[in-house]
Amino acid sequence: MAQRVVVDPVTRIEGHLRVDCEVDGGKVTNAWASGQMWRGIELILQGKDPRDAWVFAQRICGVCTTVHAITSVRAVENALKLEVPLNAQYIRNMIQGAHNVHDHIVHFYHLSALDFVDIVSALKADPAATAKLAQSISGWSKNSTQEFATAQKKLQAFINSGQLGIFGSGYWGHPAMKLTPEANLMAASHYLQALDYQRRMNKVVAILGSKTPHIQNMAVGGVTNPINMDSQSTLTLEKLMYIKQLIDEVGDFITQVYIPDVAAIGAFYADWTQYGRGVVNYLSIPDMPLDTKGTTFALPAGYIDGGDLTKFTPIKDFHDPYFEKGVKESVKHSWYQGGKGPLHPYDGETIPNFTDWQDDGKYSWIKSPTFYDKRAQVGPLANVLGMYASGHQRTQFWVNAVLDAVSGHLGSKVGVDALHSTIGRHAARAVRCVVLHEELQNQWKLLMENIAKGDTKTFNKPVFPKGEIRGFGFHEAPRGMLSHWVVIENGKIKNYQAVVPTTWNAGPRDEDGNISAYEAALIDNPVAVADQPLEIIRTLHSFDPCLACAVHLTDTETKSHYQVKVV
């Protein structure tokens, strides 16, 4: 007999996500993903000055703190057909590159590694044996007996205190945990080290963006970073050299720790290449523009139909009509007024209409996007496969390097098809992290070279015409393809819609009843212990879910922040 398993909220993510699963015979047979909060910023933006939209829009999220700002100004610039100075493009590229690298390190180590790593088991490890294991995988300088012994003492101190803090709410000893004590200690030690390296990348965002979270240097037409090598109040050579130092310091951690750890854990959990496939229509967009018009990019992307890399359609530029015409959103199963069928974002409506939970009706505050009437998966996996299919050399190099490392651990060949999975999404995110880090170094070099030519311009003034204009902006954010859509009339916002990565992946059934990427990926997932649904959380965390974090909900009667129900 099927059991109903409700995880509400799914923790170690940003926002408020509920997932209902029917479990029969030890596996998931049906699933519903539900966003349990209403964003509503689209309505707040109506009537506002388009130049201010990015300030409001970036408050959609407190984790993806740069992405909505960048995407919003791109949408308005797209409507105006406004060019952006090269320096501004490079500075934006460096901000988004640093933020993405920071985010990917945080996601693997601090948001999802504990789905595979048993902290309690790590206390049983031999630090010397752990060092031997780690050194066989990587030449990282901190893979020493002393480092692992120190980390083990820190873990023991948490346990002894009775307050597990960052290691609380874990399913320690769960039958789905497979790592040896030494592998667990290695991963736990790297978890602690990652706290320092993600912080260094976030410094780059703070220096260029004036603060983080929520950068302050965006402007429709460029950035507000004045470049003057003789003034300490501007972007100086000293600051730029410090940024380079921070970027360089993180490189070894990515290549010698993050990549090897993902490959090793992927080999330990090779069976998880058989779970979490789900929707395999992949959508990603090009990013890191290299010209003032947004027509050439450092990182290509596009749409892959049915998981077949030979069926790749590139998205070419910031004005690509193929992308612009393909996006629609349905609210048939969402808590909004509707009835007009799927709408293009320019015509989108965000009118709340809560009706309580209905399995066959409305059950989420998230809408259901489609691309040419098909559900699509977005995120690092979609992005990496898009770059791989487009022939991007460094992506192909790192995909092959990771798969070769996994193959070496297993003693058998692992191909690209293994990426269509729960564990494959982690591998793809690691690949994207190292590719972005390399491109971040290149963007710094491009900025320095352009300044050396005497170009210090960072802003072009926007001018708004009478009448109505429309525009869209997109950005390959840490969790996937993000787009903003704006209708401007007589210099004021008439309509605004944000189609965010988790909307693509976590939306409810669409107009035709097709399930989303989250829901599809959960089907056939094993569940060993119904009231400890670790396997469900593993697959969900592989997407790095992100709902609007400006609102946190607490049950005022039970004071409960986390519930797992088995019905």
Asked if residue 560 has pLDDT above 60, the reply is no
| Confidence grade of residue 548 (pLDDT, cut at 50, 70, 90) | low
Rounded to 10°, the helix 181-209/145-161 angle is 90
Long-range CB pairs of 130-139 (<8 Å, 24+ gap) are: 130/182, 130/185, 130/186, 130/189, 133/182, 133/183, 133/186, 134/186, 137/260, 137/261, 137/263, 137/264, 138/256, 138/257, 138/260, 139/256
Residue 409 contacts residue 264 (beta carbons within 8 Å)? yes
Residue of 557 and 283 predicted with greater confidence: 283
Answer with the residue of higher pLDDT: 101 or 161. Answer: 101
Tokens of 469: 């204009």
Confidence of residue 167 (pLDDT cuts 50, 70, 90): confident
Interatomic CA distance for residues 399 and 389, integer angstroms:
11
What is the per-residue DSSP string for 106-172?
HIIIIIIGGGT--HHHHTT--HHHHHHHHHHH---TT-SHHHHHHHHHHHHHHHHHT--GGG-S--T
User: What does the pLDDT look like over 204-242, one tens digit per residue?
Assistant: 999 999 999 899 999 999 999 999 877 777 889 999 999
What's the DSSP call for residue 556?
T
When pLDDT is averaged across residues 127-143 and rounded to a whole number, the result is 97
pLDDT reported for residue 48: 97
Confidence of residue 16 (pLDDT cuts 50, 70, 90): confident
Q: What is the pLDDT of residue 521?
A: 98
Residue 552 pLDDT grade (very low, low, confident, very high; cuts 50, 70, 90) = very low
pLDDT at 478: 95
With a cut of 80, say whether residue 130 has pLDDT above it. Answer: yes
Q: How far apart are CA 268 and CA 178, in angstroms?
A: 7
Percent of the chain residues topping a pLDDT of 70: 96
* AA identity, residue 193: Q
Mean pLDDT for 471-480 is 97
Exposed, middle or buried, 362 (CB in 10 Å: 0-12/13-18/19+)?
buried
Residues 532 and 566: their CA atoms lie apart, in Å, by: 9
Please state the rounded mean pLDDT for residues 131-142: 97
More confident: 351 or 360: 360
Q: What's the predicted TM-score (pTM) here?
A: 0.94
When pLDDT is cut at 50, 70 and 90, the band that residue 565 belongs to is low
pLDDT digits (tens, 9 = 90+) for 26-42: 999 999 999 888 777 88
Cα 439 to Cα 93: distance, rounded to the nearest angstrom = 9
**Mean pLDDT over each residue of the chain, to the nearest integer:** 93
pLDDT for residue 549: 38
- In this structure, the number of other CB atoms found within 10 A of the CB of residue 412 comes to 9
Select from 64, 105, 73, 76 the least CA-distant residue to 92. 73
Q: Residue 492: what are its φ and ψ, rounded to 5°? A: -125, 155
Q: What is the pLDDT of residue 2?
A: 86
Element (H, E) at 370: strand 368-371
Tokens 């525009």 belong to: 471
Please give the structure tokens belonging to residue 15: 């926002």
Q: How many CB atoms lie within 10 A of CB 331?
A: 28
Q: How far apart are the first and last CA of the chain?
A: 11
Residue 559 clears pLDDT 50, i.e. is over it: no
Q: What is the pLDDT of residues 477-515, one digit of tens each?
A: 999 999 999 999 999 999 999 999 999 999 999 999 999
Residue 334: pLDDT over 60: yes
